């Protein structure tokens, strides 16, 4: 917003604004420019802070989920260990009373597995899982690229690495992120509506053309069988002078009397002839 617009909004008169010294206008322009820059910077920082807060919330949710799963794993293992100890003590008591009971073989103590870590002795890299994820990402990318070509006629313009980074930052699958970024749903609906309107217009034209064809066949080449048309001279213009000469301003009774006199004259002339 310029200084003049600000002063105008403050209800200052135009002559007062025009009479301000140049140095005052220059100073005010500098203040306004600085204020706009400060406001823009603050807005950018607010947007960045909101995104950082969103990312922090997602990370917090991931940490809480990890802790809950790990705590559940620890609780289950502790419960099983306690039950095994109690069962072993009870069996030892029965054996002391003379009952021959073979104790089950003791299995090595298995420490609770941290969620997300490989099993003991297993490969730290699950190739099948990784290949499955890669295949899923590639499939989503190809499907989205084909949809972009169908809707816009061109492949996805952005680099796949940039898209992957943006999708990871948004914490969304590649397919969902691309669908939102390029507005697949909205564009598809708009194209479907346009195609429907085109089909309706084409069907209506077919109906009209068929009606005209049947009408032309029924009329043939006979000009007397032509269908009615709107008059090309539905209103005949007339000048005021011509209207007055034709007796347009004469009262109706007088016009009727003149008409009867003219009729009588015509009849008398016809009889005498």
Count of CB atoms situated within 10 Å of the CB of 219: 13
Per-residue pLDDT of the chain (273 residues; tens, 9 = 90+): 666 676 667 676 777 667 667 776 677 677 667 777 777 787 788 887 777 777 777 777 776 776 677 666 666 666 667 666 766 776 676 666 665 555 555 555 555 555 555 555 555 555 556 556 777 888 888 999 999 999 999 999 999 889 988 998 888 899 999 999 999 999 999 999 999 999 998 898 899 888 878 877 776 656 666 666 667 666 666 676 766 666 656 777 887 888 889 899 989 888 887
- List the one residue out of 198, 175, 195, 197 whose CA is nearest residue 187: 195
Residue for token pair 């346009």: 194
Report the C-alpha gap between 230 and 114 in whole angstroms: 88
pLDDT at 129: 64
Those residues whose C-beta lies under 8 Å from the C-beta of residue 167, and which sit 6 or more positions away, are 173, 174, 177, 178
pTM over 0.85: no
pLDDT at 55: 75
């Amino acid at each position: 917003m310029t200084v003049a617009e600000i002063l105008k909004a403050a209800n200052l008169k135009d002559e007062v604004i025009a009479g301000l010294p140049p140095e005052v206008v220059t100073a005010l322009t500098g203040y306004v420019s600085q204020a706009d820059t400060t406001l823009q910077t603050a807005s950018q920082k607010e947007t960045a802070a909101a995104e950082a807060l969103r990312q922090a919330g997602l990370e917090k949710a991931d940490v809480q989920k990890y802790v809950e799963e790990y705590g559940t794993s620890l609780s289950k293992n502790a419960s099983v260990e306690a039950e095994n100890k109690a069962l072993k003590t009870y069996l030892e008591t029965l054996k002391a009373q003379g009952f021959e009971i073979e104790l089950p073989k003791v299995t090595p103590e298995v420490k609770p597995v941290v969620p997300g870590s490989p099993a003991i002795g297993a490969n730290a890299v699950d190739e099948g899982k990784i290949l499955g994820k890669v295949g899923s990402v590639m499939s989503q990318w190809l499907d989205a690229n084909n949809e972009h070509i169908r809707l816009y006629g061109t492949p996805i313009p952005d680099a796949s690495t940039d898209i992957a980074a943006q999708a990871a930052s948004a914490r969304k699958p590649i397919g969902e992120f691309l669908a939102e970024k390029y507005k697949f749903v909205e564009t598809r609906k708009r194209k479907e509506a346009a195609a429907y309107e085109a089909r309706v217009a084409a069907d209506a034209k077919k109906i009209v053309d068929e009606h005209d064809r049947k009408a032309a066949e029924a009329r043939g080449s006979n000009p007397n069988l032509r269908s009615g048309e709107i008059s090309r001279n539905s209103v005949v213009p007339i000048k005021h002078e011509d209207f007055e000469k034709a007796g347009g301003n004469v009262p109706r009774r007088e016009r009727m009397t003149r008409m009867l006199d003219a009729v009588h004259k015509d009849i008398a002339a016809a009889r005498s002839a």
